[in-house]
A = this chain, B = another copy of it.
Amino acid sequence: MAGESKPKTAKMKDVADLAGVSIKTVSRVLNNEPHVQDKLRNKVKDAVAKLEYVPSQSARSLRGNKSYNINLLCHASDSSYINAIQFGAVIACQKLGYQLSISLLEDLHNHSFDEIKAELEQLTHQHRPDGIMLVAPYAGNRMIAFALKELGIDVVRIGPVDLTADGILVEIDDYNASIELTKHLIDLGHKRIAFVRGLENQRATHVRFEGFSMAMNAAGLTVDPELVVPGSFDFSSGMTAGQTLLAHANPPTAVFASNDDMAAGLVTAATMAGVSVPGDLSVVGYDDSAVATRMRPELTTIHQPLHELGEVAIENLIDSFQHKRTGSSRRVVLDHNFVLRDTTAAPKNK
C-alpha cells in the first residue's frame, strides 16, 4: 500500500513460470490464438491477472513490425472541427489497443511531389505508424495521399475527397446536405442567395458549391457570379466575405457560408454593419461545430457527426490492416442532419 520500491514489471517468462507453461503458450493466450486447452488458458489468464502483466509494446513492435500507433496528420490551426474528430479517433484507438499520436505538417503549398514525399517519409520513418489519418486540409490533397500510398502506409481520409479516390474514405453526403441547406433558404422565399466558398484546394468547397448550384437551378433560380465570394474556412475570411456582400449594390437576402466559422464571421460583420440576422439577412453554415451554438443568433447549419467520423475512420483503418487488406478501398458515408436554428427567416420584401 505504501511506496513500491520496485515497480518491476513482470514479463512473459514470469507468467509462464507461474502458470507452469511455456512462454509460447502465454503468447497464444494473450493473442487469442487457437490450440490451447481451456484448462491451460485459464491458468495463464489467472497468472496474468495475478502479476498484473502487460505485454511490452516495444517488444511486440520489434518482433511484429507493428507500432500500434496511428498518426493524425494536422495542420497548425485551432479548429474545433478537427478537435472533435480527434476526440472520436482517440476513443476508437483506446478501445482497440492503439495509440493516437499527433503530427504537424508544414504548409505544403507549392511543394513538389518529391519534396512532399520526402517530408512524409521523414515523418513516418521516425515512428512508423501502422496507419495515418488525414483530415482537412490534407484529406483532399492528392499528392499526400499518393505519396503515402507509395510509402506503403495505410491511410484513412475524412471528408469529401475525389470521387475517383481509392483507399479508405469516411464522410457525409456533402452534395445532398448542401442541396438540403439551399432548399431551406429557397423554401423560405429567398431568391438572391450568396455563396461563400472555402479554400479552393479542398474538395469540400467544390462539392458544397455544386450542391448549392444544383438546388438553385432546380428551383429555377440563377446563381449570380457576383454573389459567389472567396473564403478560407476561417472566421476572418467570413467577416471579409460579409463586408463584400453587404457592400454590393444589390445585396443578397441570404448567404450559404461553406462552414460555420465563416458563417459566424459573416453574422458578426452583418451585425456590426447594422444588418440584422435573420431579419435583413439569413445565414447558414456547415459543420455544426462549437461556434454554432455560441453565437447569437444561433446558427442554422448542417450537423456533421464529427466524433463518429473520427471513430469510424479509425475502426475502418485498423480493421483494414489487421485483416491484411492493405490497400483495399472502401467508402463509408455517415448520416448528417439539417439543424434549424435562428439565423434563417423569410426575406422581408418578398
Contacts and interface: CB of A to CB of B under 8 A. Distances in A.
Interface of A: 3-4, 7, 9, 52, 54, 56-59, 61-62, 67-69, 74, 76, 78, 80, 83-84, 86-87, 90-91, 94, 97, 99-104, 121, 125-128, 150-152, 235, 264-265, 268, 271-272, 290-291, 294, 296
A215 to B, nearest CB: 29
Nearest to A2: B150
A49 to B, nearest CB: 12
Given A4-B150, A90-B104, A78 B69 contact: no
A126 B69 contact: no
Contacts of A127: 57, 68, 99
Contacts of A290: 78
Q: How many copies does the complex hold?
A: 2
Contacts of A235: 294
A83 B78 contact: yes
A268 B100 CA distance: 36
Contact of A59 (B62, B83, B102): B62
A323 to B, nearest CB: 21
A102 B56 CA distance: 19
Given A57-B126, A83-B83, A150-B4, A91 B67 contact: no
Contacts of A291: 294
Contacts of A58: 58-59, 61-62, 67, 128
A126 B87 contact: no
Given A76-B87, A268-B296, 13 more contacts: A7-B152, A52-B121, A54-B125, A69-B99, A78-B84, A80-B80, A83-B83, A90-B102, A90-B104, A99-B101, A99-B126, A264-B294, A272-B296
